[in-house]
């Protein structure tokens, strides 16, 4: 099985948890899951590549992906102003999105002036399962070693 969003849908269906059964609410959860799969993950991924890993510093590329990341954060913030979680109830959409958003600083994307996004991040960070999830797999490498591995990955 591959692709994190597909894996999350499979696990949610198998467990009967974290994905609403009602078709409309289920669709909302899947829409936000796809927002992460097609937007937040790839754009923050590229922000990381050009801001942190790529051997050549290309200001226009760094700016492009950081700006797009910020725009996506603003979409999340507006939505979260009226919803406690992305699909109202806590779901795999939040689980897919939070690990990306929480590393905003690594991507060089500001969360200043986005109070609803920040409040959602705090709600997520309070959950024991989220706290546990970010320790798996355990990080053995030092940050320098991680950067070296990422540099090799993006230039091969
Ligand atoms: N499609 C994959 C994720 C791919 C992805 O998000 N890769 C990230 C983290 S490894 C990235 O930074 N990609 C940038 C790149 O490889 O250029 C999934 O969700 O299962």
How far away, in angstroms, is 5 Cα from ligand 1 center? 12
What are 62-120's pLDDT values in tens digits?
Answer: 999 999 999 999 999 999 999 999 999 999 999 999 999 999 999 999 999 999 999 99
Measure Cα distances from 19 to 49, 91, 129 in Å: 32, 5, 16
* Contacting residues for 36 by C-beta, under 8 A, at least 6 apart: 5, 93, 96, 97, 100
Per-residue pLDDT band for 141 (boundaries 50, 70, 90) equals confident
Nearest CA to ligand 1 atom 13: 45
Question: How close is the Cα of 3 to the center of ligand 1, in Å?
Answer: 10
Alpha carbon distance 24, 117 (integer Å)? 23
| pLDDT computed for residue 156 by the predictor | 83
Task: Tell me how far apart the terminal alpha carbons of the chain are, to the nearest angstrom.
Answer: 25
- How high is the pLDDT of residue 155? 87
Cα of 42 vs centre of ligand 1, distance in Å, is: 6
């Amino acid at each position: 099985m591959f692709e994190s969003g597909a894996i999350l849908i499979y696990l949610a269906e198998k467990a009967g948890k974290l994905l609403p059964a009602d078709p409309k609410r289920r669709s909302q959860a899947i829409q936000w899951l796809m927002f992460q799969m097609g937007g937040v993950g790839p754009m923050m991924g590229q922000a990381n590549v050009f801001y942190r890993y790529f051997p050549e510093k290309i200001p226009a590329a760094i700016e492009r992906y950081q700006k797009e990341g910020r725009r996506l954060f603003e979409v999340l913030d507006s939505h979260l102003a009226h919803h406690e979680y992305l699909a109202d109830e806590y779901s795999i959409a939040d689980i897919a999105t939070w690990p990306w958003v929480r590393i905003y600083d690594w991507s060089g994307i500001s969360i200043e002036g986005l109070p609803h996004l920040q409040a959602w991040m705090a709600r997520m960070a309070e959950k024991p399962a989220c706290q546990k999830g970010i320790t798996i797999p355990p990080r053995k490498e030092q940050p320098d070693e991680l950067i070296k591995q990422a540099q090799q990955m993006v230039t091969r």
